[in-house]
Amino acid sequence: MNHHAFADATVRRSQRGAALLESLIAFVFLAIAAMSAAQLQGHLRLHADLARQRSQAVHLGQRELETLRAWSTPAAASGASAYADIVDADAGDAVNADYRIVRRVDDAAFAGAKSTSVAVEWSDRSGASQRVVLDSVIARSDPAWSGTLALGGGAGAPRGAYGRAPAVPVMAKSLGGGRSALKLTAAGSIACVFDDATGSVVSRCTGVAASTATRDLTSSDLSSCSAGAWLLLSGTIRFTSAVPPLPWQANEAPPALAVALALSGGTYAAAPDCSSDTMKTVRYRAGGSLHIDAVPFDALPASLGLSSWSDTGDRFVNYRCVVTPRADGRWSGRSTLVPAGWTIGTGSADRRVCRYAADRDGSGAIDANIEHPADYAGVAGALREQNFIVVRGDQGCPAAADASLLAAASGTVPHQP
């Protein structure tokens, strides 16, 4: 073999070695790509399966809640679904996966209703535990009355929460015998007693222990009472310093204030008694259910018998004025906020008070007492939801969402200054 032939053979062997190495590298990359594609396909199947299972779990939970709502008789009865049968339970259901439906019912969360929590649990394709929870409240309202939705109102008085007159505050404690009681302030010593049928304040009681909450009031706590006839004016006050002011974000801690009600249009036996409480909203779980409550600003979890709760950051003021009407049973006047340590004005360092108002009767003006006018005239019943929002003094009052105050209850107008 001459020198040239030997060189050509060496080159061919080198080329064959390089081609083999390139083939091996290509095979490795191809194997890695195939493995990645297989893993991706597995993940896609897993997530698609999980999405299908979640959808099925929500459907099962909704079906369980609708089954609970479909009770036909208050007391337990053979062959009929009953309100009394709404209790804790565990059940199973097999569709795309083996589901476990866990039902938890809290009888004490609300008066005249049951707080229900339906959890649907299962294991996904990878063996991981999954869970969907649906919460609801089922009222103890006899289905026999459902037909009244299609009937006229008749001549009877309307009913509010717990079968009481709408003018009775929802948080008032039922005492039985057609009466309910409410403390004017959480830490105060005065309570009002309402007639459940009319909503009027028929008694005022003093000497109530400051540590006794409205929810714990009993007839024995109301031993020092005077009978009479009073009317209640109430609402909330919220603060925001946002520019521009956004009503749905008005949850800032309120500064010190008082509410004043100046009466007019006649002679009154006594001045109105106005009080206010700074409140906060907390979230907690009890009896397997989620609760959201408004409590006094300085309240601790122990006040509700809890070890802890979650503060939502929401802050506002509840105010109430108990008014002694004129001899004709009516009153007229104007309510205002009285600042303590801050000022009402039009500067950036001042505050502007705006009142929520709406043309509920379609008259084209804010003139009816229930619409929250600047001045009340001839009020003959309780007025609720007479709410205010306080914004920066150099900002305008928030208008309704559609820029028409008269079209929605979310609109506000200047009140002070």
Residue 252 lies in a domain: yes
Long-range contacts of 266-269 (CB under 8 A, 24+ apart): 266/326, 266/327, 266/328, 266/332, 267/326, 267/327, 268/324, 268/325, 268/326, 268/331, 269/324
pLDDT tens-place string over residues 315-329: 999 999 999 999 999
pLDDT at 408: 45
Q: 31 and 124: one domain?
A: yes
Q: What is the separation, in whole angstroms, between the first and last Cα of the chain?
A: 114
Chain-centroid distance of CA 326 in Å reads 37
Q: 227 and 134: one domain?
A: no
Measuring CA to CA, which residue among 214, 246, 213 is closest to residue 401?
246
Exposure string for 84-116, b = 16+ CB within 10 A, e = fewer: eebeeeeeebeeebebebbbbbbeebbeebbbb
Residue at 408: amino acid letter: A
Residue 375 lies in a domain: yes
pLDDT at 404: 43
pLDDT at 406: 41
pLDDT band for position 93 (cuts 50, 70, 90): low
Statement: residue 16 has pLDDT above 80: no
Residue 40 lies in a domain: yes
Range of the domain at 255: 223-416
Residue 275 lies in a domain: yes
Q: Which of 90, 123, 139 is the last residue of a domain?
A: 139
Span 153-172, mean pLDDT? 72
pLDDT at 270: 93
pLDDT at 150: 59
Asked if residue 67 lies in contact with residue 59, where contact means CB atoms within 8 angstroms, the answer is no
d(CA 321, CA 383): 10
Residue 15 lies in a domain: no
Q: 124 and 272: one domain?
A: no
Residue at 207: amino acid letter: G
Q: Which residues contact 401 (CB under 8 A, 6 or more apart)?
A: 408, 410
Bridge-based pairing of strands 224-239 and 388-392 is: parallel
Bridge-based pairing of strands 179-183 and 129-139 is: unpaired
Regarding pTM above 0.85, the answer is: no
Domain count, the chain: 2
Q: Which residues contact 27 (CB under 8 A, 6 or more apart)?
A: none
Q: Which of 115, 139, 163 is the last residue of a domain?
A: 139
Measuring CA to CA, which residue among 97, 102, 103 is closest to residue 122?
97
Residue 163 lies in a domain: no
pLDDT tens-place string over residues 173-208: 999 889 999 998 888 899 999 999 888 899 999 999
CB atoms within 10 A of CB 222: 20
Q: Which of 139, 160, 182 is the last residue of a domain?
A: 139
Residue 403 lies in a domain: yes
Q: 272 and 395: one domain?
A: yes
pLDDT tens-place string over residues 98-121: 888 888 888 776 667 888 888 888
Q: 100 and 238: one domain?
A: no
Residue 406: Cβ-neighbour burial (10 angstroms; 0-12, 13-18, 19+): middle
Q: What angle do CA 99, 102, 106 make, to 5 degrees?
A: 160
C-alpha torsion angle, residues 399, 334, 161, 409 (rounded to 10): -10
Measuring CA to CA, which residue among 103, 106, 92 is closest to residue 68?
103
d(CA 384, CA 411): 17
Chain-centroid distance of CA 167 in Å reads 20
CB atoms within 10 A of CB 415: 22
Residue 229 lies in a domain: yes
Q: 285 and 377: one domain?
A: yes
